[in-house]
Amino acid sequence: MTEVHPASERSFTDLLAPLVQPAYRLACAMLHDAPAAEDVVQDASLIAWRKLSKLHDHSKLRAWFLGIVANECRNAKRRRWVSWVNLGLPSVLSVPSSEENSVKRADLRRALLQLGHDDRLVVVLYFYLDMPVADIALVVGASTDAARARLYRAIHRLRPGLAIEEALR
Partner 1 sequence: MSLRRDVHSAFDQITPSMGGLPERVVQTVLSEGATRRRREKMLFRIRAPLSLVAVLLLIVLVAAVFVGGRIVQDWNALHKSSPAGQSNQSQLAELEARPLQLPVLKAATECNTGPWNSDGTVGSGPLSIYGGLGPRTSWGTYWNNVFYTDQQIAGPIVVRVRDVVNNVNVVFVGKYAAGPVVGTDTLNGTRVQQHAELVLYANNAALVTVNPPSKPHAFVWGFTVGVPNDSTGSTGWQVDGMGFSEVFLSC
Q: Mask 57-96, x = binds partner 1 (CB under 8 A)? A: ----------------------------------------
Q: Is 113 in the site for partner 1 (CB under 8 A)?
A: no
Residue of 4, 133, 142, 167 that binds partner 1 (CB under 8 A): 167
- Under 8 Å CB-to-CB from 48, ≥6 apart: which residues? 16, 64, 65, 68
DSSP of 25-79: HHHHHHHS-HHHHHHHHHHHHHHHHHHGGG---GGGHHHHHHHHHHHHHHHHHHH
CA separation for the pair 153, 130 (Å, rounded)? 18
Q: Is 24 in the site for partner 1 (CB under 8 A)?
A: yes
For 146, the 3-state DSSP assignment is helix
Quick one: 17 or 95, whose CB is closer to partner 1?
Answer: 17
Residue of 131, 139, 151, 155 that binds partner 1 (CB under 8 A): 155
Q: Is 29 in the site for partner 1 (CB under 8 A)?
A: yes
Q: Is 41 in the site for partner 1 (CB under 8 A)?
A: yes
Residue of 38, 74, 84, 142 that binds partner 1 (CB under 8 A): 38
SS (H, E, C) 99-145: HHHHHHHHHHHHHHHCCCHHHHHHHHHHHHCCCCHHHHHHHHCCCHH
Quick one: 8 or 75, whose CB is closer to partner 1?
Answer: 8
Residue of 17, 87, 89, 149 that binds partner 1 (CB under 8 A): 17
